[in-house]
């Protein structure tokens, strides 16, 4: 399966699938102009979703630290994402949205025009991390259910059918059955992390009258993400 087909099967944005069609994986990785697209390319190469979410959080931190004020709740959301605690992530995402709503005066006055997008970016990172935690819980439940089924067949304890070694890092599977609960959560996590990267670029260059500034912000975030993920890739550039 080529890159475009894998992206399509994983539910990546249609614009990205069209762009990747006909491009070899190495060239697509090298030439990708947007961080959110690059994250999907990495997901299509089966990089662990947890790694992708944490890398996205590192990139979003760039936008958060660039804010002149109001960054504390956003920083807490990024720290919650790194902790991979579902309750903390959910609460932190809500706090980001509340902070955005309570910051309208400065946002409208233009003193901090990137705040709204930065708040969205931090919230999306926290939601992505929450998706990873939920996927892990659902995977563990599936393993337990399978162990109980096998134990019932042979009349033994389910414990002997529980794998002794830890499960491999979570990665997207384009061949996953439709509706698979673990795969759905992992795909949600990637989509949320990609959304966070798009919002981060918007935060760094919020003026729609300056498209070149937005392109530069996209390129800089994309390069930062590329550097973070390059050592983990199996395909040489």
Question: Is 204 part of any domain?
Answer: yes
Q: What is the pLDDT of residue 129?
A: 96
d(CA 114, CA 129): 23
Q: What is the pLDDT of residue 167?
A: 61
Q: How many folded domains does the chain comprise?
A: 1
66-118 residue pLDDT tens: 998 889 999 999 999 999 988 899 999 999 999 888 775 544 445 577 899 99
Q: Which domain holds residue 200?
A: 3-232
Given its phi and psi angles, is residue 110 left (phi above 0), alpha (psi -120 to 50 degrees) or beta? left
Please name the helix (run of DSSP H) or strand (run of DSSP E) that holds residue 29, with its range, or none: helix 25-31
Question: Is 160 part of any domain?
Answer: yes
Question: Is 137 part of any domain?
Answer: yes
Given its phi and psi angles, is residue 85 left (phi above 0), alpha (psi -120 to 50 degrees) or beta? beta
Q: What is the pLDDT of residue 2?
A: 85
202-219 residue pLDDT tens: 999 988 678 899 999 999
Q: pLDDT grade, residue 237 (50/70/90)?
A: very low
Question: Is 93 part of any domain?
Answer: yes
127-179 residue pLDDT tens: 999 999 999 888 876 665 665 566 666 666 656 555 555 565 589 999 888 88
Question: Is 103 part of any domain?
Answer: yes
Neighbours of 71 (CB within 10 A): 21
Question: Is 237 part of any domain?
Answer: no
Question: Is 134 part of any domain?
Answer: yes
Question: Is 136 part of any domain?
Answer: yes
């Amino acid at each position: 399966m080529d890159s475009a087909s894998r992206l399509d099967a994983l539910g990546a944005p249609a614009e990205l699938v069209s762009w990747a069609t006909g491009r070899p994986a190495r060239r697509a990785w090298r030439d990708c102009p947007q961080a959110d697209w690059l994250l999907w390319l990495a997901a299509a190469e089966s990089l662990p979703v947890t790694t992708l979410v944490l890398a996205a959080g590192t990139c979003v931190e760039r936008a958060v630290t660039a804010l002149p004020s109001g960054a504390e709740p956003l920083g807490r959301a990024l720290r919650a994402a790194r902790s991979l605690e579902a309750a903390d992530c959910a609460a932190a995402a809500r706090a980001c949205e509340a902070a955005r709503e309570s910051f309208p005066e400065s946002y409208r006055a233009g003193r901090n025009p990137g705040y709204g997008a930065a708040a969205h970016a931090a919230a999306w990172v926290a939601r992505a991390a929450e998706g990873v935690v939920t996927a892990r819980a659902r995977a563990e439940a599936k393993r337990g259910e399978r162990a109980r089924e096998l134990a019932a067949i042979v009349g033994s304890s389910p414990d002997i059918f529980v794998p002794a070694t830890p499960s491999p890092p979570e990665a997207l599977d384009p061949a996953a059955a439709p509706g698979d609960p673990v795969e759905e959560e992992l795909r949600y996590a990637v989509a949320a992390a990609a959304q966070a990267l798009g919002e981060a670029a918007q935060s760094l260059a919020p003026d729609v009258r300056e498209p070149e500034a937005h392109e530069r912000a996209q390129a800089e975030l994309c390069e930062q993400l590329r550097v973070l993920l390059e050592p983990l890739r199996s395909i040489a550039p």
